[in-house]
Amino acid sequence: MNRKLRTLFDARVKMHGLTLARARLLVHLAKEEGATQTELANALEVEQPSMVGLIDGLEKKGFVTRRAVEGDRRARGIFLTEAARAEADAILAFAGELREQVLEGVDEMDLMVATRVLQRVARNIGAAS
């Protein structure tokens, strides 16, 4: 089920010239603009070299810029360009539509219980690591 959902999402973002990983990065930046490469790698659970490649790719497309972080001359914050904001908005809109489609007919209480159970499982996995 998760693979089908990811395939659906991936097909849509490819229409925008993006990969799933780059789309995830754009959406994250839309919510937390100015994050550093390290912060982004941690948030998206990817290795630093992979994050550098993702950011480089988005920078070449004109979607992000790197700016110095005040107080840390080595760090660079990653910021969206206007073109990227439009892309992020389109991706977020599609994700919302997809979420509505996928959850159609699912009772709100059932969804809350399922979410609570999955959050607990995730915490247990984290504790076991």
* pLDDT tens for each residue of 80-112: 999 899 889 988 998 899 889 989 999 999 999
Distance CA 54, CA 64 (A): 10
| DSSP designation for 129 | -
**H runs (alpha helix) in the chain:** 2-14, 20-31, 37-44, 48-60, 82-102, 108-128
Structural domains present in the chain? 2-128 (1.10.10.10)
Tell me if 30 sits within 8 A of 85, measured CB to CB. Answer: yes
How many beta carbons lie within 10 A of that of residue 40, not counting itself? 21
* pLDDT tens for each residue of 26-51: 999 999 889 999 999 999 999 999 99
In this prediction the pTM is 0.77
- Token reading at 52: 């550098």
